[in-house]
Structure 1
Amino acid sequence: MLRASPGTERESAPKCGGNEAKTGQAEELRHMRTFFEFFAGGGMARLGLGPAWRCAFANDVDPAKCAAYRANFGGETLIEADIAALKLEDLPAVRADLAWASFPCQDLSLAGARAGLAGARSGLFFQFWRLIEALSGAGRAPRLIVIENVAGLMTSNGGADFRRVIETVAGGGYVVSAMAIDARWFSPQSRPRLFIFGFAQECAPRRRSAPPLDSFSPAAMRASLGALSSKATRRWRWLAARPTARPNMRLEDLVDINAPDWCAARGAAALSMMSARQRATVEALRASGDRHVGAAFRRIRIENGARVQRIEARFDGLAGCLRTPAGGSSRQMLVKIEDGRVFARLLSPREAARLMGLPEDYRLPEQTTAALKLCGDGVSVPVVRWIGEAILTPLLAQEAQAA
C-alpha cells in the first residue's frame, strides 16, 4: 500500500484549545464536500474548488509538481507515484463527492504527434478509470467526475477518442455531459479546454435538448456525439450554465511592466522576424504614442517553399495558451511598445502563474523550467472555480434537497 508523505505545511494549522474547538472543526469537516485529485500537478483544481471542498486524496508522479503541492498544501493527502501503481486500498475509504482528473494531454494536443488515447501518456486515462471502477465495485463511486484535457480531444482520431471517453463514463453508470471552456472568459489567456462530466443519477442535470450552437458546445463536439451508442446517447445531458461576462483584466495588468529584463535589442530582433503584415501592426501601435503589451511565439512557416522562422505577436489583451517549455519555440515572449520603442523579453514563471489564476503567495518551483511546466500543464484556477460554483455545487445541492 502506498502512503502519503506529509512534507511541510504551507501554514501552521490554527491552534484551538478545548473540546469545543475540536467539535466545531469536526462539524465543519462533516459539511465540506470531499474530492479526489488525480494527476494533481501543483494543485490547481484544489485551489479552484476552494475552501468549501476538502481534498481527501491527491496523486501525481512528477517530483517537482509534488514538491510544489506539498509546499503549498502539505502532503497529508498526496501520494507521489505512477497512477498505474495505485490500488483501491491506496484510496480513502469514503465516497467522494468528486473525482477530478486532468490527465496528460501530450498525445491529444495539436502540437504533439496525436497518438490519442493509444499513446503512453494520454492513455493513462484508462488507469484513472480502473480506479473509478474499483471504487464503484466497493460501493464508493464518486458522485461527480470531471475529466479535463485539451480541446484537441474532441477531434483526436476523427472524434473516436472523445466518444470513447464518453462511452467509458456512461458505461460506468454515469450520466454524461461535456463543455468546451476557454480561460479567456476569466483571465487574459487564450486557453481552450474540454471538460467531460460524469454525474451519479441522483445529482444529474435534466436537460436533454441541445442549447444553441456556441463555443461551449461547438460543432466538433456535436459531430462526435452523433456517433455515440444508443446507451451513451440516452445518458447524455446538456449543461445550461454559461459564463456571463468576461473580465476587465488585460495582459498588461498581469505583467511586470517595469521588469529590468525588457530589452530593446531583443525587441528589434523580434521585429525583424515578423512578417510584413505584423511589422505594419507594430508600427501603427508605435505611432499611436500609447503603451501596448502583447504576447508572441516563435513559429515555423512555409513561405515560397522554404521553412521560415517567424515571431507572431498578438496585441488583443490576451496571452497565448501557456505550454510546457519543451524547447525555445514553446517559451512565450512579451513585446512592449512604449515611447516609440519596441522591447521584448520572455514571460516569467510568476507571470505565467498569474495567467493561470494562481495567487501571489503560491510557491512555485525554484527552477524556471519546472515552474513553467507546472503552469503549462495546469488547469486554469478561475475556470475550476466557475465549474464548482455554477455546475457542481448546485447539482450536489439538488441531490441533498431530493434526499
Structure 2
Amino acid sequence: MTLAAPLNLLRQARARFTQREIAAHVGKDIKTVRRWEKGETPCPAMLEPALRDLLQQPARTTNGAGGDTQFRFIDLFAGIGGIRMGFEAHGGECVFTSEWNDFSTRTYRENYPAGGEHTLIGDIVSFPVEDVPSHDVLLGGFPCQPFSIAGVSKKNALGRPHGFECTTQGTLFFDVARIIAAKRPAAFLLENVKNLLSHDKGRTFDVILQTLREELGYEVHYRVIDGQHFTPQHRERIIIVGFRGSTAFSWDDLQLPAHGPRLGSILHRTDGSEPVLPWDHDRFFDHTTRRVQPKYTLTPKLWTYLQDYAAKHRAAGNGFGFGMAYPDSVTRTLSARYHKDGSEILVYQGEALRPRRLTPRECARLMGFPDTFRIPVSDTQAYRQFGNSVVMPVMREVARIMLPHVQTLLAEGPRHG
C-alpha cells in the first residue's frame, strides 16, 4: 500500500478537524501530526483505518471560551488583536497569527495565550503560504501608514515613496492576496484608513478591488465606518469584506447606534467607583487619592509650547492646534504619535489645572477594549499600540453580519486550502 492514501485522508481530515483532534484520535502527539502534514515524515499506512473512521464523525472543535466554534480564522498584521477579539465574540477560533512588532507581540501573547495548534509568527512576507493552516475567514489590518494622510505627507516631505511604491509596507496587501489565492477562505475582512479610498487619485484602491474581484474572484463589499457609534472617538476606517461565493450580504444590516457614548464614560472615575484592576494596580490611577497619576498632566513647558503653537497657526489662518476634550466630548482620532505630546486629545481638568493626556487604560477603553485587557508594555509603546489599533466593537459588529453568510458558504462546501 502506498503512503498517498493516508496522506490524502489526513488532508481531508484537516479540512474539518484541528491537529490536536487528529492527534488524539490516532494516538499521536500534535508535533507528529504536524510533521506528517508538512511532509517532514511520512504518514503511516497503518493509520488509514483510523483516519477513515475520523472522517465519518462530525467536527467537534471548540473555541477558547469553551463554546462551539462557528469558524476558524487567521489574524494577519494582528497588532494587539482588536480584530481577533471582535470575531472571537461570535464563536471564531484563531488558528494562526502574524505580527512583526516585538512590543505588540508581547501584548498579544499576554492577552491571547497560545493554545491548541495556534501558531504566532513574525513577518508574513517570508512565511511559506503552504504552511498557513486551513481557515474559513482571513482577517488583516494591513499597514495603513503608506496610505494615511499623515503618512503620505511625511513621506512626501522626505521624498520617500508611499502607497504601493512603499516596498516595506504598501505591498503587504499582495501578501494577503497570495494567501487568499492559495487557501481560498470562505471570507475575508481587511481594514485600513479612510484615505486608502482617495490615495493616488483612487488608483491604489482600484488595484485592490481589481485584485480581489477579478483576479481572486471574490464578491467584495466595502464601507467607511466611524468608530464614534461605539466609543467616544471620531475614527473613520474603511472595512473591506469579501466572500468566496455569491451572498446576500448588505451593510444595511449593521446596527450602528445613532448616539454613541461620550468621553466621560471611559475616563477614570474619581467618585470611588473606579475598578481596582490587579494587573494595573495604581499604575494609571491612584485609588487612595482617587486621582489620575500626576505624570499624565502636561508639564508647564509642554502646555506653553502647545498653546503658542496653536496661536501661531490661528494667526496664519490654519486649523492646526491641540484638541481639548471634555466629559461630553467625542474626541479626535487617537494616533500612534499620541505619546509625543498628547495634543490631539487633551483632557480638561478645570481652569486651575493644566490639561492631561489620556492614560493607556483610558486609551484602551477609547478603542473599545474591556478592562480585562492587560497592558504589559511601557506607556510609550501602549500609546503606539492603541493608536494603531481598531475600534474593537466595530469589528464585533461587522463579524456579526458576516457570520450568517460565512456559515452558508461553509454549508455549501468544505474548507479550502
Which TM-score applies when normalising by structure 2? 0.68
In structure 2, what is the equivalent of residue 325 of structure 1? 337
SS at match of 1:360: coil
In structure 1, what is the equivalent of residue 124 of structure 2? 83
In structure 2, what is the equivalent of residue 175 of structure 1? 219
In structure 2, what is the equivalent of residue 357 of structure 1? 368
In structure 1, what is the equivalent of residue 197 of structure 2? 154
Are 2:73 and 1:35 aligned?
Answer: yes
1:274-293 alignment runs, 5 A limit? 274=307
1:35-54 alignment runs, 5 A limit? 35-51=73-89, 52-54=91-93
Deviation by residue 1:154-206 (Cα, 9 ceiling, x = unmatched): 1100111111111111020101110100110111111100011111115x236
Distance 1:264 1:87 in 2: 48
Deviation at 1:336, TM superposition (A): 2.1
One-letter code of the match for 1:250?
Answer: R
One-letter code of the match for 1:36?
Answer: I
Distance 1:261 1:159 in 2: 46
Are the structure 2 counterparts of residues 304 and 346 from structure 1 closer, same or farther at C-alpha, using a change threshold of 3 Å?
Answer: closer
Runs of 4+ more than 3 Å apart: 23-31, 262-275, 298-310, 329-333, 340-343, 397-403
- The share of aligned pairs that are identical, in percent, is 25
In structure 1, what is the equivalent of residue 393 of structure 2? 382
Are 2:357 and 1:310 aligned?
Answer: no
User: How many aligned residue pairs are there?
Assistant: 318
Distance 1:327 1:27 in 2: 42
In structure 2, what is the equivalent of residue 279 of structure 1? none
Are the structure 2 counterparts of residues 300 and 394 from structure 1 closer, same or farther at C-alpha, using a change threshold of 3 Å?
Answer: farther
Say which is worse superposed, 246-255 or 193-202, in terms of deviation.
Answer: 246-255
Equivalent residue for 2:180, pick from 132, 138, 144: 132
In structure 1, what is the equivalent of residue 152 of structure 2? 113
Are the structure 2 counterparts of residues 269 and 125 from structure 1 closer, same or farther at C-alpha, using a change threshold of 3 Å?
Answer: closer
Are the structure 2 counterparts of residues 88 and 244 from structure 1 closer, same or farther at C-alpha, using a change threshold of 3 Å?
Answer: closer
Assess if the C-alpha contact under 8 Å between 2:325 and 2:345 holds in 1. no
Equivalent residue for 2:141, pick from 91, 102, 107: 102
Deviation at 1:401, TM superposition (A): 6.8
Assess if the C-alpha contact under 8 Å between 2:99 and 2:120 holds in 1. yes
Deviation at 1:269, TM superposition (A): 7.1
Deviation at 1:25, TM superposition (A): 10
In structure 1, what is the equivalent of residue 60 of structure 2? 26
Deviation at 1:359, TM superposition (A): 1.4
Which TM-score applies when normalising by structure 1? 0.70
Are the structure 2 counterparts of residues 332 and 176 from structure 1 closer, same or farther at C-alpha, using a change threshold of 3 Å?
Answer: same
Are the structure 2 counterparts of residues 68 and 260 from structure 1 closer, same or farther at C-alpha, using a change threshold of 3 Å?
Answer: closer
Distance 1:264 1:44 in 2: 28
Are the structure 2 counterparts of residues 85 and 254 from structure 1 closer, same or farther at C-alpha, using a change threshold of 3 Å?
Answer: same
Deviation at 1:33, TM superposition (A): 0.8
One-letter code of the match for 1:164?
Answer: V
Equivalent residue for 1:56, pick from 83, 95, 100: 95
SS at match of 2:355: strand
CA RMSD in angstroms comes to 3.2
In structure 1, what is the equivalent of residue 355 of structure 2? 344
Say which is worse superposed, 156-165 or 252-261, in terms of deviation.
Answer: 252-261
Are the structure 2 counterparts of residues 369 and 205 from structure 1 closer, same or farther at C-alpha, using a change threshold of 3 Å?
Answer: same
Distance 1:386 1:392 in 2: 9
In structure 2, what is the equivalent of residue 261 of structure 1? 294
Are the structure 2 counterparts of residues 31 and 351 from structure 1 closer, same or farther at C-alpha, using a change threshold of 3 Å?
Answer: closer
Q: Which runs of 5+ in 2 are unaligned?
A: 1-56, 154-161, 270-290
SS at match of 1:145: strand
Deviation by residue 1:221-243 (Cα, 9 ceiling, x = unmatched): xxxxxxxxxxxxxxxxx633333
Distance 1:307 1:123 in 2: 34
Distance 1:104 1:359 in 2: 24
In structure 1, what is the equivalent of residue 23 of structure 2? none
SS at match of 2:150: coil
Q: Hey, which of these two has a bigger chunk of strand by percent?
A: 1
Deviation by residue 1:83-111 (Cα, 9 ceiling, x = unmatched): 1111123211x2x2210110111111111
Assess if the C-alpha contact under 8 Å between 2:189 and 2:240 holds in 1. yes
Are the structure 2 counterparts of residues 181 and 245 from structure 1 closer, same or farther at C-alpha, using a change threshold of 3 Å?
Answer: same
Distance 2:233 2:226 in 1: 8
Assess if the C-alpha contact under 8 Å between 2:322 and 2:344 holds in 1. no
